[in-house]
Structure 1
Amino acid sequence: MMNLKYGAIVFSVDQGGNLGFRCGNVVVTGCRPELIIDDARVVSDVRICRTEDGIRLEGLAFQGNWMLDIRAAETPSGHKGIALQMEVRLASCARAFSFAPFAGGNVRLEHYLGSGRAGGHAESIVFPALKRRFISYYAAMLSRGGDHLYCAAPLSGAALPEFHGESGELLTGFSLRFSFLHETLTNVDSGNILILGGDDPFTLMEEYAGISCTRRPDFSTPPACGWNSWDYYRWTITEEEVLANADFIAHDPVLARRIRRIVIDDGWQYCYGEWEANPLFPHGMEYLARELTKMGFEPGLWFAPILAEPQSRIAQKETQMLGMSEGGQPCLAFECMRRNAFILDPTRQEVCNWISALFDRYAAMGYRYFKLDFMQRVLNIRKFHNPTIPRADLQRRIIEAAAHGIAGRAQLLGCNYLFASGNGAVDQVRIGADIHARWDHICQNAVSIAANWHLNRILWWNDPDFALARTVCNHRDPELNRLRAHVVYVEPDDPLTPDKDRALVTMEPAQAEVLLSLVLVSGGVCNLSDKLPALEESELAMLYRILQAEPGGAGRPLDLFSAEIPSLWHQKTQHGNRLLFINWGDESATRFLEPGQFGICSRKAHDFWSDEYFSPVPKMLTIAPRSCRLLEFPYI
């Protein structure tokens, strides 16, 4: 048995090449390095030796060899841990292969936290749990008994790092895997994988975010608040409605001071791939940019730059620009809400040139903000023109082409953005899935906002998705729930399926306060997306509150490593602190309030939503079902 200890991490290798690592109460056992070629596990002759700074395992087989180095490592701030780096050399190119620095681990946990591949779909699992297999990406936090073990792979590696596992009484099959498909690569490596540990998981996450930076953005000025057309209008948006909302903002004494950006989302274009105004925008997009600029706003526009619907000219006439199927033909690799599209092939230079020209043209019209959507769908393609370009680089090529086109004239928001592309060109990134004015959506998005809190103001500005205020109590808007977006999923032979005809607005006012509180304490971007002239006064008042609130840093979800959905958040501002208590349940809850345990010394508190002041601070809080209490504590 060979052991390597550094900091809180102990790594072990036995004579058979089995791996184990631990941090206090978190003990991972039964792992092995693994190489799989065309779905077959390679049986390797494993050799183990000491090196000057650690342990090396080598796997030898006629299909290919691998080498795993295990060594002591320190982060730039001095946090000690273990680094793994696995290199693979194949004897010949393979259709598909994957390798794992460790695979098949078992560990008894209280909580598992993993990131989604792009915004949304984070994994937050309380153990013991229902038995199911899952995949998370980039980094994984394993927690038990006050100890935390953090496995973090590089964001800008040769492949997307995938953490696989199966929940149950304990976590089984815990693996870190890198996969390749139709890539003519024979020599690849994992980059430095960090295994860190300790009793302060928040610092570990911040360390990882800092290490992942490829540039250091300036976060001294908070991002502009905006209005976006999508959540209320979806594909029904018109030039008239955009200008009506802009005019309402311009003449509202609060909104006019706070909302600086108007973004026209999906629905303005003829179709995906044909980026010209449709008849609902009769004067064209240059006219609209000019009008919004005259009103004092920064115009923004939505694109899905890699998509081309079948009726687009690029799909009809330039099929060489399209990504291919397993058999090498252009294929409809994208589907969303029953809209199908081809995906452009970013390994072709003509595609990158086309994207650059597209964004150059719209930046020249005066658009100063672009929302780039469906970015991760580029991985749906099976074959690309140039197989020597790693799949992990595909999105990066698209983003860099757009950035080249705008040439510093506009900001970029990555939506459905693969975090693996890093922060080299994007200014903001959507960290959650699509939000709607529904309680179930709020619950789902809260996990992703929490899981990605540490990226805010380190890699980019986090976008938690829309700040919505319209509720089922709105009686001013006769079209509040007229859109029935999900009926597209009803098939001719389906029985009555209420879920496929569900309303987009079901939240109560107290639930809207939860959503808006999460947007505020996230410390990121704030974008409205209601039909503002149709809001009730009480709904507008909720928006006024968060728009006029003092901005703060990235709020920490304090029970992130013990709860399925975090219910306690702490945010620091220039003039004090905020504590957000959320009751996700259907019964009233009582929470003990001890600000001192969060380093808050103030004897006074202000209830953000009720406007009630407390002095002294109460010892207990009662929180109604599906609601929250957001308390502000000024510095003494």
Structure 2
Amino acid sequence: MPHPFTSVASLPVDPANARIHEEGWQSWSPSGSYALGDRPYRPTNDNWATVCYRPGVTVPDGTFQGEGLLALDPGDGSAVRLWAAVDPTAEVPSVRLTVTDGVAEVSADGPVKEWTGTDIQSVLADWACAQQVPAPRPAPTVWCSWYEYFTNVTEDDIHENLRAMDTLDLPIDVVQIDDGYQSALGDWLTLSGRFRSRAGIADAIRARGRRAGIWTAPFLVDPASDLATEHADWLVRDPAGGFTHAGRNWGHDLRVLDTTHPEAAAYLTDVFRTLRSEGYDYFKVDFLYAGALDGVRHKDIDALTAYREGIELIREAIGEDAYLLGCGAPLLASIGLFDAMRVSPDTAPHRRPEADDYSQPGQDPAEFTGVGRQWQHGRFWVNDPDCLMARPAVETRERWAAHVEATGGLMASSDRLLSLDEWGVTTTRRLLSGVDELSGATE
């Protein structure tokens, strides 16, 4: 049952100058600063509410709400206030703010602590530093197959781009194979018909002096997969006895792997140990919100504890030396678990998202939330602003490249490299060769 909201603060604001920072639930949830007269971004349909926002949470009209964090600049010259979760890895309360007749009323449905600072980004950074997370190691540079090939990527596409990296003299450390190599979500070790040998392509990548990376969505299960058919008892259930619904994507109503089930945990461990043994040492784990969905699990533990245990299981399987990038993850519940983290919705070859929903792919939403979460970079993880796309077909590619560069975070290219023109090659090379903001060293 949800907890009731109780008052935590009441203070005057200047309605013309006040600003509020809403922190969204997960990577793709819109996060950033609003004026009092702005209408914050909200889900435009029930599916996106599950896939991209905090499931089961509806924010009343005229209300600002942050998940675990909400900051207020009163706009009258007084201190900026932040209300933040006391123990964010265990409990992430919702924090609400409404303004009536120039007075802000703040409430929360769980314990929060108040912080003060001079501006929104700095008070958020102060709170982040107080969590005492060890400084993240610098990120490698990456080429990723997703934004050119999507799920139609082939093994031959990987080989073509691998050769092009040498031809174009691009300083790429990791070649990451994205969605499309596997037969189904959940059947991670069974290849699609477009790939011949997962170990063989890892060997080819490493033979050229680069590291092999691979994508998974470890907590999602396609109902048409062999896993779902043969091991229905490994899936999270809803209280009525059906399956917990993880949203609709890839044309399917998705289910959730119950990593508290010993056999499911053993299976997932085997998946990641196998990938590691084949030569992969960079892992992008995606759609992680699914692991934090409420439901009936084998172990009687809360969803956030189950989520963290699932990520820890993956880390143990791949080893501390492997690089772990999270995406679509409940952010505050992920503190201390990842090397790098996507901090925004997906980018896209276009600027505006569908239905103006700022959780959906587009350069504008990726910039809005990426800027709003810049305070996390170097304090919790390396921020991943999403991939550079520099090919001529990409809308406002110059502006998008400037945003990726300004973050100082993970630098990844996602073009068919032979499709780049002179500007695209030069820009890609420059960003991949840039100064790492964490170490100060030129890569």
Structure 1 equivalent of residue 359 of structure 2: none
> Which structure has the larger Rg?
1
Which of the numbers 396, 417, 420 marks the counterpart of 1:535? 420
Letter in 1 for 2:341: V
In the TM superposition, 1:401-416 aligns within 5 A as: 401-416=313-328
Match of 2:55 in 1: none
- Aligned-pair CA distance for 1:194: 2.4
**Match of 1:9?**
none
Match of 1:114 among 22, 29, 33: 22
* Aligned partner of 2:134 among 216, 223, 226: 216
Cα pair distance change 1:245/1:175, threshold 3 Å: same
Q: Distance in 1 between matches of 2:191 and 2:12?
A: 55
Counterpart residue number, 1:391: 303
**Other-structure match for 1:595:** none
Distance 1:364 1:374 in 2: 24
Give, as a single letter, the amino acid of the residue that structure 1 aligns with 2:379. I
- The residue number in structure 2 matching 1:546 is 431
TM-score by length of 1: 0.60
1:156-207 deviation digits (Å, cap 9, x = unpaired): 34332212345798686642224xxxxxxxxxxx3xx321223244432222
Q: Which residue of 2 aligns with 1:4?
A: none
Moved more, 542-551 or 313-322: 542-551
Would the alpha carbon gap of residues 100 and 127 (structure 1) be closer, same or farther in structure 2, given more than 3 Å must change? Answer: closer
Alignment of 1:359-508 (within 5 A): 359-387=272-300, 389-440=301-352, 441-472=362-393, 505=394, 507=395
Q: What secondary structure sits across from 1:259 in the alignment?
A: coil
Q: Does structure 1 residue 126 correspond to structure 2 residue 35?
A: yes
Query: How many residues get paired?
Result: 405
**Runs of 5+ consecutive residues of structure 1 not aligned to the other structure:** 1-95, 179-189, 473-504, 555-572, 576-636
Say if 2:195 is the partner of 1:251.
no
Asked if structure 1 preserves the Cα contact closer than 8 Å seen for 2:177 and 2:213, the reply is yes
For residue 211 of structure 1, report the CA deviation from its aligned partner: 1.9
Superposition pairs of residues 303-322 of structure 1, within 5 angstroms: 303-322=216-235
Partner of 2:65: 135
**What is residue 149 of structure 1 aligned with on the other side?**
81
Of all paired residues, the percent bearing the same amino acid is: 22
Q: CA 1:100–1:331 in structure 2 vs 1: closer, same or farther (change >3 Å)?
A: closer
Partner of 1:206: 125
Instruction: Provide the secondary structure at the position in 2 that maps to 1:136.
Output: strand
* 1:145-184 pair list within 5 angstroms: 145-147=76-78, 148-154=80-86, 156-165=88-97, 174-178=106-110
Choose which of 193, 203, 216 in structure 2 pairs with 1:279: 193
TM-superposed CA distance for 1:267, in Å, is: 0.9
Q: How far is the alpha carbon of 1:553 from its aligned partner? A: 5.4
Distance 1:297 1:287, change over 3 A: same
Where do 1:184-203 residues align within 5 Å? 190=111, 193-203=112-122
Residues of 1 paired with 2:93 and 2:141: CA distance?
Answer: 34
Contact 1:321/1:351 (CA < 8 Å) preserved in 2? Answer: yes
Q: Which residue of 2 aligns with 1:494?
A: none
**Shift in alpha-carbon separation, 1:351–1:435, aligned structure 2, 3 A:** same
Q: Output one character per residue of 1:431-477: Cα deviation in whole Å (capped at 9) or x when no partner.
A: 011101222222211221122112111111111111111234xxxxx
Structure of greater relative contact order (alpha carbons < 8 Å, 6+ residues apart): 2
Structure 2 residue ranges without an equivalent (≥5)? 40-60, 353-361
Q: Which residue of 1 aligns with 2:158?
A: 242
Cα separation, 1, equivalents of 2:315 and 2:214: 15
Q: Distance in 1 between matches of 2:230 and 2:89?
A: 35
Q: Contact 1:467–1:515 (CA<8 Å) still a contact in 2?
A: yes
In 2, distance between residues paired with 1:551 and 1:390?
A: 38
Deviation at 1:261, TM superposition (A): 0.5
Q: For residues 39-78 of structure 1, what are the structure 2 equivalents within 5 Å? A: none
**Structure 2 Cα separation of the partners of residues 135 and 354 of structure 1:** 38
Q: Secondary structure at the match of 2:223?
A: coil
Question: 1:113 is matched by which residue type in structure 2?
Answer: H
How many angstroms does 1:124 deviate by?
2.3
Q: Is the 8 A contact 1:261 1:299 kept in 2?
A: yes
1:196 is aligned with what amino acid? W
Alignment match, 1:522:
407
Which residue is 2:47 aligned to? Answer: none
Residue pair 1:334, 1:340 contacting (<8 A) in 2 also: yes
SS at match of 2:430: helix
| 1:65-86 Cα deviation digits (max 9, x unpaired) | xxxxxxxxxxxxxxxxxxxxxx
Structure 2 CA distance for aligned equivalents of residues 422 and 156 of structure 1: 9
SS in 2 for 1:432: coil
Equivalent residue letter for 1:456: H
Q: Is the 8 Å Cα contact of residues 353 and 401 (structure 1) preserved in structure 2?
A: no
CA distance in 2 between counterparts of 1:527 and 1:443 reads 18
Aligned partners of 2:131, 2:334: CA distance in 1, in Å?
7
Q: Say whether the 8 Å CA contact 1:352–1:397 is kept in structure 2.
A: no
Offset at residue 353 of structure 1 (A): 2.3
Read off the aligned partner of 2:7 and give its amino acid letter.
F
1:396-453 deviations in whole A, cap 9, x for unaligned?
1111010111123421111111122343331111101110122222221122112211
Partner of 2:147: 231
CA contact (8 A) 2:72 2:120 kept: no
Compare the two structures and name the one with the higher strand fraction.
1
Residues 368 and 204 (structure 1), Cα distance of their counterparts in 2 relative to 1, 3 Å cut? same
- Is the Cα contact below 8 Å between 1:155 and 1:421 reproduced in 2? no
Instruction: Identify if the C-alpha distance between structure 1 residues 351 and 103 changes in structure 2 by more than 3 Å, giving closer, same or farther.
Output: farther
1:119/1:433 contact within 8 Å kept: yes
Deviation of 1:117 after TM superposition, in Å, equals: 1.0
Pair 1:352-2:265 in alignment: yes
Partner of residue 242 from structure 2, selected from 311, 329, 334:
329
Q: 1:365 to 1:128 in 2, by over 3 A?
A: same
C-alpha contact (below 8 Å) 2:128/2:380 kept by paired residues: yes
1:434 aligns to what SS in structure 2? coil
- After superposition, the Cα gap between the structure-2 partners of 1:218 and 1:324, relative to the gap in structure 1 and judged at 3 Å, is closer
Instruction: Note the C-alpha offset of 1:155.
Output: 5.2
Assess, with a 3 A threshold, how the Cα gap between structure 1 residues 357 and 468 changes in structure 2: closer, same or farther.
same
- CA–CA distance in 2 between the matches of 1:244 and 1:166? 55
Does the residue aligned with 1:333 lie in a helix, a strand or coil?
coil
Query: Residue 602 of structure 1 corresponds to which residue in structure 2?
Result: none
CA pair 305-295 structure 1, distance change in 2 beyond 3 A:
same
Alpha-carbon spacing, 1:361–1:167, altered in 2? closer, same or farther (3 Å): farther
Residue 386 of structure 1: SS of its match in structure 2?
coil
For residues 278 and 102 of structure 2, the distance between their equivalents in structure 1, rounded to whole angstroms, comes to 56
Query: What is the Cα deviation at residue 288 of structure 1?
Result: 0.9
